[in-house]
Amino acid sequence: MRDAFESGFEQGLEDGASVCVTLDGEVVVDLWGGTDGTGLPWQADTLVNVWSVTKTMSATVMLMLADRGEIDLEAPVARYWPEFGVHGKDAVLVRHVLAHTAGLPGWAVPIEPRDLEDHERMSAALAAQEPWWSPGSRAGYHPITQGFLEDAIVRRVTGQSIGRFFDREIATPLGADFHIGLPAEHDGRIARLTPPAFGIGGDPAAAVEDAEEAALAERVSTSCPLTGDEPNERWWRAAEIPAANGSGNARSIARVHSVLACDGELGGVRLLGTPALDRILEEQSSGVDAVMRYALRYGIGFGLVSPQVPLSPNPRSFWWAGWGGAMSVIDRDARMTVSYAMNRMSSESQDLRAINLIFHAYAALEATS
């Protein structure tokens, strides 16, 4: 693992990065290196925005509430958020939101990034618009909206935002240094991101085979155009953007995910029961994602392994990744997690930095078994 991690720096692929592997809840690999984007060394406690790996933390909140009986994954979202149930959205179930099949991957009226600070406005806009397809009929990645949909449910059920619930009920009990909405006191530990060559819509020169899907992807990306530089600003770090602005590192991601790998309990802290964990693995859709435009298999709250995404040889494994390269795999069969976070966002459609580390982790596990 160390050789594989160092090779990324030797090839000039990294500025700063961290990787962590846990087995049976114990940290067995914990590596970091490079610089934080300001010329200073990446430290053991350096934090970085991990984009959509944040979704795994918000999904854990939703699963905890389902496990406690406070929400029903099969219930209409409108049961908890009555204003939402208009224009056919009474058919949107909670699990549709968690599986990117709700039909609300973007805002019908485009917004500016700074608008994301206003939760009430963002959720009200989503409640008022029509779904872009029949809910549950297809998968289309909800890059930013998923978090606001989940947050609106959590606020109405608990009276807390996802970020506040996560901090009180997950991060603090586990001692996990992960934040959805970063207090200013931690700014000195934040690594500066190097954005990719193009924004969230992807490479404009990439070949397009399906004009309808390309148009949908463009509509999503332009509904809230991001460059990748936003996390370098204080307003972004301070906001709670539950699908995209989590600040952490490989170790803190692994700390939370180890609970999921170890049957819902770690170090005497129980977050979930087995039935809730099993629901993650229930396939919600499989095929070409209408927004991402490549084959994905979705469970509830996470991606599932498939022939197209063979990140694990074990069937009870799930994963997610963040824009630019961050990634984590959770394997309930091996009781293992592999997490990777970095500050140089890749512009390549096939970024292999995390995948290389994941494969080396499995090779090491096989060699010691």
Q: How distant, in Å, are the alpha carbons of 52, 124, 151, 156 from that of 121?
A: 21, 5, 13, 15
Distance CA 93, CA 227 (A): 31
Could you give the maximum distance between any two Cα atoms of the chain, in Å? 56
The distance from CA 71 to its chain's CA centroid, rounded to whole angstroms, is 21
Instruction: List the one residue out of 231, 260, 250 whose CA is nearest residue 61.
Output: 260
Task: Check 52, 223, 252, 317 and give the catalytic one.
Answer: 52
Angle 110-114-119 from CA coordinates, rounded to 5°: 85
Instruction: List the one residue out of 21, 46, 49, 48 whose CA is nearest residue 243.
Output: 49
Both tokens assigned to 208: 């397009």
What are all long-range contacts of 277-283, with beta carbons under 8 Å and residues at least 24 apart? 277/63, 277/332, 279/63, 279/66, 279/73, 280/59, 280/63, 280/318, 281/315, 281/316, 281/318
Supply φ then ψ for residue 136, to 5 degrees. 85, -5
Distance CA 186, CA 175 (A): 15
Distance CA 362, CA 369 (A): 11
Please say if 52 is a catalytic residue. yes
Q: What's the N-to-C CA distance of the chain in angstroms?
A: 16
Q: How distant, in Å, are the alpha carbons of 98, 310, 327, 338, 354 from that of 74?
A: 11, 29, 28, 30, 34
The distance from CA 255 to its chain's CA centroid, rounded to whole angstroms, is 15
Cβ atoms of 150 and 98 within 8 Å: the answer is yes
Count the Cβ atoms, other than its own, within 10 Å of residue 168: 12
Assign 170 to helix, strand or coil.
helix
Active-site positions?
A: 52
